[in-house]
Amino acid sequence: MASWQFQGELSSDQTLRVPAEIAESLSLGQKLFVVLATADQGEDADWRRLTLEQFLDGYGPGDAIYDELPAG
């Protein structure tokens, strides 16, 4: 099964627009399986915070030696 991902918005007439480059890959009347995902308010900020926390958890005092290496 092929899949595509794109961001969109619900228009005032309650329709979603499929980007042209994706629509060109589809046939009229072709059966589609559609999944919609929305971000809750604040969810993006929560994910950024969690990602930063998890990334920094892997950085220990012993890793500071790499900060002293010459650049380039």
Q: Looking at residues 35-61, what average pLDDT do you find? A: 77
pLDDT digits (tens, 9 = 90+) for 1-33: 888 999 899 999 999 999 999 999 999 999 998
Q: Are 26 and 32 in contact (CB under 8 A)?
A: yes
pLDDT score for 72: 65
pLDDT score for 46: 80
Q: If you write DSSP's letter for every residue of 29-60 in order, what string do you get?
A: T---------PPTTHHHHHHHHHHHHHHHT--
